[in-house]
Structure 1
Amino acid sequence: MTEVLFYHLQNMSLEKVLPPLLEKTFERGWRAVVHTTSEERADALDAHLWSYRDDSFLPHATWRIEDAGEQPIVLTVDGRNPNRATVRFLIDNAPLPENLDTYERLVLIFDGDDGAALDAARAIWTECKSRGCEATYWQPDETGRWQRRG
């Protein structure tokens, strides 16, 4: 059964939240695919993941490179899974994958200040629950630490 984690961004950017989540995924030895909805966003995240912190190294690639299948983290703009990831991140209102059951974990990160993102997250929550997935909702507390709320 796929575990689905909903991360509700409030007063924080995706660029701040995504790298630590990907670091934890990588440290656990899991492969991840990050699904965004535009090539421009994928390119911006690609550049950001190389430089978000001076002392970091987060191996990743975009779907465009020849050896994307060998990378632990791949940024993509479609539903494919080029690196056989077991964790899929959905950002920028990316749709729920048709083959949801092939993932151990799905991480949906959505902007709490964007009405369309909230509506999309609610629809995905409903769909996941109807499919029998274990869904949890995470929200930052006043110090910015993630707390499970549901």
Structure 2
Amino acid sequence: MQVDFYHLTQVPLERALPQIAEKVLATGGRLVIVAGEAAQRVKLDQLLWSYAPESFLPHGHSGGEDDSRQPVLIAETPDAANGARHIALVDGVWREEALGFDRAFHFFDEERIGEARLAWKGLADREGVKRNYWKQNDAGRWEKAA
């Protein structure tokens, strides 16, 4: 199981998340995106429809009739009703349930850096967990820092 920590400093979540989602879908994978606040989930829904003029990411909100058919599912909790093996935690809150997926993307900003550090340390000795820490350079590109 792989956990990728993404420290958002230059590029906001609104630009970083669609890139990750596109890569997951390009490999035939499915993704569940978790955000605790309803307002953030509404914004994510709008984002995935309109982040680029020439495309959109097919998705739905958890709790609908077609959850199992959605390539990307936006949810309040880490339940993959769409059968996703990838999870994106986008509200800066680490959830242990993410360890039940093949790959977790943990996005956080400066407000949540302390919590992210605790999660990083907490996963250090977990068997079968590979951690990566990605930070943004001045140009906004991702660089592996650990």
TM-score after normalising by structure 1:
0.90
Q: Which amino acid aligns with 2:7?
A: H
Q: Which runs of 5+ in 1 are unaligned?
A: none
Q: 1:110 to 1:99 in 2, by over 3 A?
A: closer
3-state DSSP of counterpart to 2:74: strand
Q: Which residue matches 2:132?
A: 136
Q: Which residue matches 1:78?
A: 77
Q: How many Å separate the matches in 1 of 2:84 and 2:96?
A: 13
User: How far off is 1:68 after superposition?
Assistant: 1.0
1:69-103 C-alpha deviation (Å, 9 max, x unpaired): 11111010113111111101111133323361x31
Over the aligned positions, Cα root-mean-square deviation in angstroms equals 1.3
Q: Which amino acid aligns with 1:124?
A: A
Matched positions, count? 145
Q: Which residue matches 1:33?
A: 32
3-state DSSP of counterpart to 2:63: coil
Residues 35-114 of structure 1 aligned to structure 2 (within 5 Å): 35-98=34-97, 100=99, 102-111=100-109, 113-114=110-111
3-state DSSP of counterpart to 2:96: coil
Q: Which residue matches 2:120?
A: 125
Q: How many Å separate the matches in 2 of 1:41 and 1:61?
A: 14
**Segments of 4+ in structure 1 off by > 4 A?**
none
Q: Which residue matches 1:10?
A: 9
Q: Is the 8 A contact 1:37 1:93 kept in 2?
A: no
Q: Which runs of 5+ in 2 are unaligned?
A: none
